[in-house]
Amino acid sequence: MRNSLTAIGAMTFAALITTIGSAEVANAKMTKHSDAATSTMSAASPVEAAIRASNGADVAVIDEASLPRQDAAFIQETTSGGQLKAIQASISANPALVKKLSAQNVDVKEITGAVKAADGSIVLYTM
């Protein structure tokens, strides 16, 4: 009888350990997916975050043609296609900023780059 109880206890303990292990694996997978989603959502650059939070008053628009040649080239070289799409998407997601740009006859597709200044203002460059 004692051997039977010991065997049942061992099986119960093994089942418990397996259940806990399965729960830990499931929890780790959920945490991994949650972390990945959070990482994707927070992957916006500081410029994109500032653009989305802007009310439009802190934004200046500068035509690249008015810049020295090396400055315009620097903007083009340092803004990848993916970054430009993200910047334009951030602008499009901000109705106040779209309204301000429209009042200045600037289309979002004309934006070629953006920087966040030390004072928190945003400079948008156009072609």
Confidence check: pLDDT of 12 > 90: no
pLDDT value at position 2? Answer: 52
pLDDT value at position 45? Answer: 87
Using an 8 Å Cβ cutoff, are 101 and 108 in contact? yes
Strands (E), 1-127: 59-63, 111-116, 122-126
pLDDT value at position 43? Answer: 64
pLDDT value at position 77? Answer: 86
Q: Mind listing the pLDDT tens digit for each residue in 31-61?
A: 444 444 444 444 678 899 999 999 889 999 9
Confidence check: pLDDT of 23 > 50: no
pLDDT value at position 78? Answer: 85
Q: Mind listing the pLDDT tens digit for each residue in 55-111?
A: 889 999 999 999 999 988 888 888 888 999 999 999 999 999 999 999 999 999 999
Residue that is written with structure tokens 């690249």 in the block: 64
Q: What is the pTM of this model?
A: 0.64
Between CA 107 and CA 103 the distance in angstroms is 10
Could you tell me the pLDDT band of residue 3, with boundaries at 50, 70 and 90? low
Rg of the chain, C-alpha, whole Å: 27
Q: Count other Cβ atoms within 10 Å, centred on residue 109.
A: 10
